Amino acid sequence: MMADVTKFLTGIETFQQQHFGENSELANTLVDGQKPQALLIGCCDSRVDPALLMDCSLGDLFILRNIANLVPPYLKNDDYHGVSSSLEYAVCYLEVSDIIILGHSKCSGIGALMASANGKEAGEFIGKWVNIAASARDKVLQEMPDESPEKQARACEREAVLVSLKNLMTFPWVKERVSKGQLSLHGWYYNIETGQLKYYNQLTGAFEILVKRYSPKVQENPL
């Protein structure tokens, strides 16, 4: 028996009305190709949809999502390279001007990475995948041995963004474009509890506020 997917079908109908009806001019421009400004590498987490978070239109972002928003280092072998092929397409063929690594709080992938320090391996494939950021986990455990597991995990989420930024530079065509000023790399960290967005400032070596946390506007009492 087919599960009830009415919500998703209704959503398609709403999208069709908006995209092909109300915004048909944009739809027509995208028929023959795409020219996104940025490649965004985000997490698969259903709570962190990049296009929704940034209120983007179709064609704005080339999005790659995986567990814990990780980028492996450049490696040429006969394995399947989903992340590397997407990266190659975005940089070499679409010629994006920006690459954004979007990390987030409460990341289960990073949670699995932290748990692996205690010998708890996650799944058949997940454990090996998140081990890309093993150096981030080890750094946090070394520098914050007495902090709570919660604080260690939040720190590891940010450190993992830096690992991916570092790995991006192992790709020769990424490094070349960065050196020529044709490509900029960005490390962002989104707090799903508050909506606050931080970015990694290479000059200070710290994550600093880019967009403040959400604060509801309090209406003044007219009386």
Condensed to tens digits (0 to 9), the pLDDT of residues 177-208 reads: 999 999 999 999 999 999 999 999 999 999 99
What average pLDDT does the structure give for the chain? Answer: 93
Which CATH number describes the domain made up of 36-74+99-211? Answer: 3.40.1050.10
- Residue 96: name the closest of 199, 5, 182 by CA: 182
| pTM score of the predicted model | 0.92
At 219, the pLDDT band (50, 70, 90 cuts) reads low
At 56, the pLDDT band (50, 70, 90 cuts) reads very high
What is the C-alpha to C-alpha distance for residues 126 and 197, in angstroms, rounded to an integer? Answer: 26
| 76-89 mean pLDDT | 95
| 12-19 mean pLDDT | 88
